[in-house]
Structure 1
Amino acid sequence: MTGLVVLDVFISLVFIYLLYSLFAMTVIEAITTSFSSRAKNLITGIDRLLADDQQSNSINHTVLNLFYVKTDNPLTKAFYKHPSIKYLGHKGINSKPSYISKDRFASTLFDLLKQGSYLDEVDNISATLGMIPEYDSSGLVARIKRTEEELKALGQSPDPDKISLESLTEELNFLKEELFQRNNKEHPWEIEGFSLGDETKYQLKTLWKNAANDKAKFRALMENWYDDQMDRIAGWYKRKLTLLTFFVGLIIAGLFNVDTIKLTTDLSKNDDMRALLVDSAKSHIAENPEGGTTATLDSQMKYIDSLNTTLSKYNAVLGASKDDDYTFWTYLGWLITAFAISLGAPFWFDILNKLMKVRNSVQIPVNTASASTSSESKSTNVVG
């Protein structure tokens, strides 16, 4: 084969990979949207921040996480039950949000940590993180009881001191109000068994110490902590999608029998098939400067079907006939196709653009040389 033929074969293959990658990408988008896969992946990322290893479900770190997520961590559950997070998502089965800003994450977690029986938020955070003891209300209850007894005794005396009586009554009301404030706080997002894992508590305690009990600085440090995790969350999602795209690509390769090995053989032998695909690639680039990523699933299917129908006229169909025997090389060809599809449509569109530029640059000299040779031949015949 000449160099131009090899280039055209490569362009044809890249164009086929692009078409099926676009098709696979549309299928993947439909799947991930239906299952709210981004939201499930975000839950996994937040759970990784807020849960110790023994509280984190291993299935969340596999490709199955795109369809199912499970967490046993009380802190993660409380976080998602908090009103500021709960109402970010739509109502229904897939109700969890697919995006949470860093400031909302920090303010929500701060609100969970500051809950407690101390009247000061700083003390409550320190108590939640185990830096000071949890507030013990038994002393306050004992004071109320003593005050009630004193008030009762004073009231039963023959000549009670009105000033002392009023003072004790005022003190008793104040103590009861304080007890009520400490023990009757409403937290609709709290769940039974709320607790922090040891490792998570250590991490939050470190941030609290670095903030030097400054609430604003503590929130800022939690924002940075979450921001760092978001980069990893995006990476996890991309790797899971790549693996899912490979499996979808393998199904597509099997259904349409897109055998890379057979395609390469057919393209190298069939000039008409090769020319058609190269021309189609040119048209596709001209009509879809963005790579065709906005095309609908239906339009992509129609385009692939029409191309297959046209190619069948040259006895070189993208999918072999049903009578063809599937061999080891067929399955290997499918695997190669699936791997190519998993690289994604943007990758193949970029490659196709570069290859077409190379082809345009090498074809002009070839045509010019041919025309020159033909001209010289005609001149020689005229002279002769």
Structure 2
Amino acid sequence: MSLWSQMGLQEGTSVLGVEVQGLYDYSMFIIVMVFSFVGYFLLKVVGSSLIGRTYSDSQLLEFVWTILPFWFLLALGLPSIKLLYLMDEVNLPEATIKAVGHQWYWTYEYSDIRGSSYKFDSYMVPDSLLEGGYRLLEVDNRCAVPSLLRMRGLVTSDDVIHSWAIPSSSIKVDGVPGRINQIQMCFLRPGVFYGQCSELCGVNHSFMPICVESVSVEIYTNWIIDNHNEVLAGMDKKDDSWTWWGLLVAVVKAVGRSIYWVGSMYAMFLYYLFYYSMYIPVKFVVFSSWDLGCWFVESSVAFGKWCLWFSVSPVEASLYAVMYLAGNLWGGLVFVVTSPVKAVVWLVSGIFKGIVNFGSFSYSVFEAVMHSLTSFTDDSFHEFVMREVNLNTKKFLWIIMDRYKNG
């Protein structure tokens, strides 16, 4: 949560929070650099007594101060758009939590285990009953989530528009009546994280806090199954036919997700290996550069021979160069006059090929930049998160299957 005299964002407590914090640091670096550069030259111009009366314009300077802001905006926009789309992507969650906003409290539902729905209300603890914790942030029933496990958060509202927000995790989802919004969550460590409703919803808008407690996968799984068992016991369900069926569904689901994950990772690895190690070099180094390289070599050899000739007989070499240029110009003029259609076709085809090659090269550069700006974290962080998430997923499914077997 926020601390006194804090200047930046809160420390990221989820994968999304770490990415947003990296984007913030990256953006602030560029913004501070631009402000420092502009401020330095502004003070230098204001404090200078020199006046340029004859200085009219500079094409190079105008080109530079037009291109540089474009590249700065591109450097800020590409990772922002990439992260924006990653925030909306929900990929194979293991558990689901639904938050329903009311005036002025939250209701949490857990309905993806054992075919029942376990839910409870979460109210703010008043000052008279507060024992420890934070004022206006502590609740009587915390929302429990597992750490290092892919989850899906569903947010809606029962009356007016609310907003379920946890700043430290970079989570903010609007709860709209009649509509369900979703977001992917993956908390990095156990702990208690606070938030508040971030949409004006009435007179008690400031008194409906959000308190999320992240626990280990073992604690979360046993807790949610025990609560679902209480719900099922209260409903007097005597039919045990769901036990083996649930076990079969869990096994098939685990095997299917494992095959999908391994296949997708392997296919992605082969795609990028082929694309960046074979396709790009062959296309832009071999094909596109071959003609240019041959022309450059031939031109260099011819120019070298002409320089040797010029050192021996400068008059003859100069006359030959003039006649060569005049002959080429005359040949081109004759070609245009005698065959205007062929000349136009040759010119249009050349322009079209140039545009296509430039567009293809620009697209490849753009794709490479987008791929490089996928994340602001290093590979070791990715490996740690993937390893722990896969391990916790196996634990989660194993505990569920074990509890299913034992009824």
TM above 0.5, yes or no, is no
Larger Rg: 1
TM-score by length of 2: 0.22
**Larger strand fraction of residues:** 2
What TM-score comes out, normalization by structure 1 length?
0.23
- Structure with the larger helix share: 1
